[in-house]
Structure 1
Amino acid sequence: MQYMEFGRTGHRSSRVLFGAAALWDVSQKEADNALGLLLDHGVNHIDTARSYGDAELRVGPWMKTHRSDFFLASKTGARTKAEALEELKQSLTRLKTDHLDLWQLHFLVDSDEWETAMGEGGALEAVTEAKKQGLVRYAGVTGHGIDAPKAHLKSLGVYDFDSVLFPYNYPMLQQPSYKKDVQALLDLCKQRNVAAQTIKSLARGEWGTKEKVYTTWYDALGEEKAIQMAVHYVLSHEQLFLNSSGDLSLLGHILKAADRDIQAPDELAMQALVEKEGMKPLFV
């Protein structure tokens, strides 16, 4: 496993972060098996959210003996100060901890929601209040969709967030406007030492009429070589962290790929993968 400074936080993070959305609807036994994988592969960063079903409840028991082993991040989808602080209280209780290392404003892309969150009495005020109280050490912003990088640039213009999170995979980056927005965001993140987290590394496209074989809401790559190429495509960019996918059956394959010597797949190889797997941009 490779490690890298997580922005300006002082945490030397594993390049692969555990995306705890994979614990949305699993038993504690299944969750504990996942913990074993994380420890075996040296993952030291967990990313969850109050809205991820039972995920926080499954991570909570781990914190009794492993709190110091992990940089613990969660998210709030609330847009007002009062609602966000209530969600933070719930997250801390569910996670059985007295503080989060990173608290993120989740899916902050919609312009109206952005105005509410960043305005008077908004969720951003909850972030500053929580930091004052020592409930949160660092703050981030996350987003899905084609407009996420652009929205993060706007957010960074208002508040000096410590991290951002956005979709990043080969099909998405073939869209010129998206690629341009991502590059602008990464340039600013590098300038300010903001951690850049990525999601949807294995996204093959929407399920459509296909039978769902994973718990991810999107169709995901499943063949080991394909997963390795997709993981290496992300991790070969020295600035990026990769959040593991929302299905526990994919976790071992992702960690195995990350444990190997990271080699950037060439353009022809990625084009061949897209054609073979029928990959399409998840967001357009």
Structure 2
Amino acid sequence: MIKRILGNTGEELSIIGFGGILVMNMEQSKANDLVSYAIDRGINYFDVSPSYGDAEIKLGNALVGKREKIFLACKTDGRTEESALKEMTESFKRLKTDYFDLYQLHEMKTEDDYNKAISHGGVLELLDKAKKDGKIRYTGFSAHSVDIALKLMDAFDFDAILFPVNFVNYFNGNFGPQVIEKAISKNIGRLAIKAMAFTTKSQNDTSHPKTWYTPVEDKEIAKLALRFTLSQPVTAAIPPGDESYFPLALEVAENFKEITEDEINHLKEIAKGVEPIFHA
């Protein structure tokens, strides 16, 4: 498995991450096997959130005896120091660890999210204290807004950003390139999500219950979409929570080749008229 350096941390992460939502609602024995399989295939970057149902519990049990082999990232939906500390404490228990390699503000997308986070008593104060206390090694955030992501990078000295990097978003929504560019200028590590997303999902669409969007259905195009993302200046990408996409992501990672100009043009044709899941 290819590994890349995360920003200025010096950490080498597998270019494919293991999203904790994969094991949500999964039988524990199957979760144990899937985590062991991923580690055996060279994946060392794991990411989870307390908002992913029972994923922290399943992942925590599966990582017993394996914690030191991996780079574990967790998140908080708390916007105040108090609410985030409560979540962090519970995440430590569920994941059976006393530190996180990366701790991130989750799904920052509104002015209210931003204002609460940066204010006195906000979650940024927890990140600062927890890093000094050794409870977290690195700080980060995920965002579903270009404007909020750009503002956050100016508001705090983050080590990493987790952001949608997706061909339809890039071509049809102008969503992503400006965030990656700024992160590079500040030497903030770039981690990607939504690489295999295609378009929005209607309310009555029950397919792919672990994704709120419609992923690329064609498997070859899905692999090409992931290669597009991994050909951008990012360290790693986390594939969809739908388990069927995980082996496709492994195949791409283990045989990775930079996307060609012809392949980019092919993706542009595929994206024509498609509604992106995010707009700038």
Same structural fold, with TM-score higher than 0.5 when normalized by the shorter chain? yes
The equivalent of 1:162 in structure 2 is 159
Percentage of pairs with the same residue: 30
Residue-by-residue CA offset, 1:12-58 (whole Å, 9 max, x unaligned): 00111111122222221231232133123211010111111111111
Structure 1 position 171 matched with structure 2 position 163: no
Number of residue pairs matched by the alignment = 276
Q: CA RMSD in A?
A: 1.9
TM-score by length of 2: 0.92
Structure 1 position 233 matched with structure 2 position 195: no
In the alignment, is the contact (CA less than 8 A) between 1:231 and 1:258 conserved in 2? no
Instruction: Pick closer, same or farther for the CA change 1:213–1:151 going to 2, 3 Å.
Output: closer
Q: How does 1:71-90 map to 2 (within 5 A)?
A: 71-90=71-90
The Cα shift of 1:130 comes to: 1.2
Alignment partner of 1:152 out of 132, 149, 152? 149
Distance in 2 (CA, whole Å) between partners of 1:67 and 1:149 is 33
Helix, strand or coil for the counterpart of 1:131?
helix
In the alignment, is the contact (CA less than 8 A) between 1:214 and 1:220 conserved in 2? no
Structure 1 position 16 matched with structure 2 position 16: yes
The equivalent of 2:93 in structure 1 is 93
Distance in 2 (CA, whole Å) between partners of 1:157 and 1:113 is 15
Structure 1 position 194 matched with structure 2 position 191: no
In the alignment, is the contact (CA less than 8 A) between 2:228 and 2:259 conserved in 1? yes
| Unmatched segments (≥5 aa) in structure 2 | none
Distance in 2 (CA, whole Å) between partners of 1:21 and 1:211 is 17
In the alignment, is the contact (CA less than 8 A) between 2:6 and 2:235 conserved in 1? no
| Unmatched segments (≥5 aa) in structure 1 | none
In the alignment, is the contact (CA less than 8 A) between 1:235 and 1:262 conserved in 2? no
Distance in 1 (CA, whole Å) between partners of 2:71 and 2:142 is 17
The equivalent of 2:198 in structure 1 is 204
The Cα shift of 1:70 comes to: 0.7
The equivalent of 1:220 in structure 2 is 215
Distance in 2 (CA, whole Å) between partners of 1:37 and 1:23 is 13
The Cα shift of 1:210 comes to: 4.2
Instruction: Pick closer, same or farther for the CA change 1:213–1:140 going to 2, 3 Å.
Output: closer
More divergent stretch after superposition (149-158 vs 133-142): 149-158
Q: How does 1:120-159 map to 2 (within 5 A)?
A: 120-144=120-144, 148-159=145-156
Distance in 1 (CA, whole Å) between partners of 2:209 and 2:196 is 12
TM-score by length of 1: 0.90
The equivalent of 1:268 in structure 2 is 265
